[in-house]
Chains A and B, each alone.
Chain A
Amino acid sequence: KQEVTQIPAALSVPEGENLVLNCSFTDSAIYNLQWFRQDPGKGLTSLLLIQSSQREQTSGRLNASLDKSSGRSTLYIAASQPGDSATYLCAVKIDYTGANSKLTFGKGITLSVRP
Chain B
Amino acid sequence: DAGITQSPRHKVTETGTPVTLRCHQTENHRYMYWYRQDPGHGLRLIHYSYGVKDTDKGEVSDGYSVSRSKTEDFLLTLESATSSQTSVYFCAISESRLAGALNEQFFGPGTRLTVL
Residues of A at the B interface (CB closer than 8 Å) are 31-32, 34, 36, 42-46, 49, 51, 89, 91, 93, 96-99, 101-103, 105-108
Contact = CB atoms under 8 A, between A and B. Distances in A.
Interface stretch (B64-72, B78-86, B102-110): B102-110
A96 B99 contact: yes
Interface in B21-58: 31, 33, 40-45, 48, 50, 56, 58
A15 to B, nearest CB: 27
Contacts of B104: 32, 34, 46, 49
A103 B58 CA distance: 11
A98 B50 CA distance: 7
B44 to A, nearest CB: 8
B109 A42 contact: yes
A99 B103 contact: no
Given A34-B104, A42-B109, A44-B107, A108 B48 contact: no
A114 to B, nearest CB: 24
B98 interface: yes
Contacts of B31: 101
B103 A32 contact: yes
A99 B105 contact: no
Given A97-B50, A108-B42, A103 B102 contact: no
B96 interface: yes
A61 B31 CA distance: 31
Interface of B: 31, 33, 40-45, 48, 50, 56, 58, 90, 92, 94, 96-99, 101-110
Contact of A105 (B43, B94, B96, B99): B43
A38 B50 CA distance: 26
Contacts of A102: 33, 45, 48, 58
B90 A44 contact: yes
Nearest to A6: B42
A113 to B, nearest CB: 22
B43 A96 contact: no
Nearest to A4: B42
Most buried by A among B101, B106, B107: B107
A93 B105 contact: yes
